Amino acid sequence: MAQAVKDIPAVDFLKIRKDFSVLDQEINGKPLVYLDNAASSQMPVQVAKRIDDYHRKEHANVHRGIHTLSQKATDAFEETRKKVRDFINADSESEIVYTTGTTDSINLVANSYGGSVLKKGDEIILTEMEHHANIVPWQMVAERTGAKIKVIPVTDSGDLDMDAYKSLLSDRTKIVAVVHVSNALGTVNPVKEITERAHEQGAAVLIDGAQSVPHQKVDVQEIGCDFFAFSAHKMCGPTGFGILYGKKELLEAMPPYRGGGDMIDKVSFEETTYNVPPFRFEAGTPPIAAGIGLGAAIDYLNQIGMDNIAAREQELVEHAVSELKKIKGLRFIGNSDQRASVCSFVIDGIHATDIGTIIDKEGIAVRTGHHCAQPILKRFNVPSTARASFSFYNTKEEVDRLINAIRYAKSFFE
C-alpha cells in the first residue's frame, strides 16, 4: 500500500464497480463521486443480498436452539469467525471476538484488560494521531486506575517520531495503543517495530486497524500485536459489527466486559461462572445479520485479492496527490512517504466546510471536519480539513472530477 506502484494486475475494476449500485445515481443532477470511504465504504450487491437472504430465509437466534433454523443461522454466523481468522491470519477462532465495531473493541480491551492490569504509576502510550476512539477509553481507565498517558509526537511530515517513542518506553509502560493507518493523515505506521519495542519492555500492544484491514493484507502474527481491532462497515460490510483479535492466553485471563446471556457457563444467585473466550465477551443476542454480512464481505474482498486492492488504491491516491499539488494555495495535512488511500488538505483562505459544501453541489462526497482526531489537527494548527479517501471502486476520472470541483470551489474566493 505504501510502496511504489507496480503494474496493476489484470482485474477489471470497472466491472467490479457495477456491483455497487449506490454509485449509479446522481447527486444535485451530477453523477455521484463517493470519496468518503475512510468514514464508511459502500456495500456490494453480493453482501446486501446475503444479508437479505438471512432475513428472508434464515432468521433465528444463534447458539440457543436445537431447531433447524437456529442451527442454520448459528452455522452461518460462526462461519464468519473462521473467515476472519484466515483473513488476518489469527492462530485460532477462539481469538476472534465479535463486537459492534472498532470503538467497542477498544473499550473492551481498555476496560477488561486495562482495568485488570493497570495500577497507579503505570503508563499507557498512545500517539498524537489517534482517533478519539483510541484516546477516550484509555483516559477513562487511566482516571480509574491512576495510570498515566504518554503520547508519541508526530513529525511535520505526519510520521511518528520513533526516537521519541523509544525514549517514552520504560518498565512502567504496560500498554501501547496505536493506529495502524491514520484516518486523518493517511500515514501508515510501522506497527511491527512498535510492537517489538513494546514487548521488549513487557508491554501489551493494541492496534487500531479500522483503516488498514480494508486496504491491505494484515497478518496479526507477523505484526506480533496482542490485540487488533477493526470494523465491518469500512470493508464493504454492514454497520454495527466489528472484530477484536486477542491472543488466546490474554483473552483467557481477562474478566468479562459485559454480563448477560451467552457469556455465562453457569448462573446461580450464589455464583456465576463464565464461558470461554471468545464467547465470554459476547453477551446478549448479537447483530446476527451483520455478522453474516461481514463473512460475505470477506468473501468478496478475497475474490478480488487484497494485493490487487492495495495496488489499485495506491494508483488512485498517487494520481490524486500529483494533481492536488498543482492547485495553488492547497496544503496537505499529512505528507508521509508511507501514505494510504487518504488525502487531507486545506486551502488558504477557504474553510474546509465551504469546500465540502460547494463540491457536494457537483455531486462529490468528501469528509470535512476534525475526523474524530482533534489532537492531530491541533498539532498542525488547523481546525478542520477536507479529506478525500479512495476505494478500489473509484476511478481516475473521479479523481479528475474532484480536482475540477476544487478549482471551481476555489474560484468563489478569488
Question: Given this model, what pLDDT does residue 123 score?
Answer: 98
220 neighbors 228 (Cβ within 8 angstroms):
yes
| pLDDT at residue 145 greater than cutoff 60 | yes
| CA atoms of 179 and 334, how far apart (whole Å) | 15
Q: What is the mean pLDDT of residues 145-161?
A: 98
Which phi and psi angles does 347 have, rounded to 5°? -125, 130
pLDDT at 280: 96
Residue 274 and residue 256 in contact, taking contact as beta carbons nearer than 8 Å: yes
pTM for the full predicted model? 0.95
In tens, the pLDDT along 1-12 reads 444 444 555 789
Higher pLDDT, 260 or 150: 150
* 29 DSSP 8-state letter: T
Q: Domains in the chain, start-ordered, CATH in brackets?
A: 13-43+305-411 (3.90.1150.10), 48-302 (3.40.640.10)
The mean pLDDT value for 357-361 works out to: 97
Angstrom CA distances, 309 to 10, 12, 21, 306, 341, stand at: 12, 11, 19, 5, 11
Pairing, β 367-369 against β 385-389: antiparallel
User: What is the 3-state composition of the chain as percent helix, strand, coil, each rounded to the nearest 5?
Assistant: 40, 20, 40
Question: Looking at the chain, how many residues does it have?
Answer: 414
Inter-CA distances, 322 with 85, 355, 396, Å? 37, 19, 12
Residues 6+ apart with CB under 8 A from 245: 84, 88, 90, 95, 96, 97, 220, 227, 228, 229
pLDDT at residue 3 in the model: 43
CB 28 within 8 A of CB 362: yes
Q: What percent of the chain has pLDDT over 90?
A: 93
**Predicted pLDDT at 10:** 73
* pLDDT-derived band at 264, boundaries 50, 70, 90: confident
Cβ proximity of 406 and 375 under 8 Å: no
Residue 189: which of 134, 221, 152 has the closest Cα? 152
Percent of the chain surpassing pLDDT 70: 98
372 is catalytic: yes
- Is a pLDDT exceeding 90 seen at residue 414? no
In this predicted structure, what is the pLDDT of residue 4? 42
The 10s digit of each residue's pLDDT in 306-346 is 999 999 999 999 999 999 999 999 999 999 999 999 999 99
Residue 206 phi, psi (nearest 5): -110, 130
Collapse the DSSP code of 19 into the 3-class scheme (helix H, G, I; strand E, B; otherwise coil) and give the result. Answer: coil
Q: What is the rounded average pLDDT of the residues 216-229?
A: 98
Res. 392: pLDDT tops 60: yes
Measure the CA angle with vertex 383, ends 382 and 386; round to 5°: 85
CB atoms within 10 A of CB 86: 11
**pLDDT computed for residue 9 by the predictor:** 55
Ramachandran angles phi, psi of 149, nearest 5°: -105, 130
Q: Where are the beta strands (DSSP E) in 109-253?
A: 123-127, 148-152, 173-179, 204-208, 227-231, 242-246
Residue 64: what pLDDT?
Answer: 80
Cell of 108: 473492551
Average pLDDT over residues 358-367: 97
pLDDT of residue 8: 52
Is the pLDDT assigned to residue 348 strictly greater than 50? Answer: yes
246 and 276 in contact (C-beta within 8 Å)?
Answer: no
Name the strand (E) or helix (H) holding 57: none
Mean per-residue pLDDT of the chain: 95
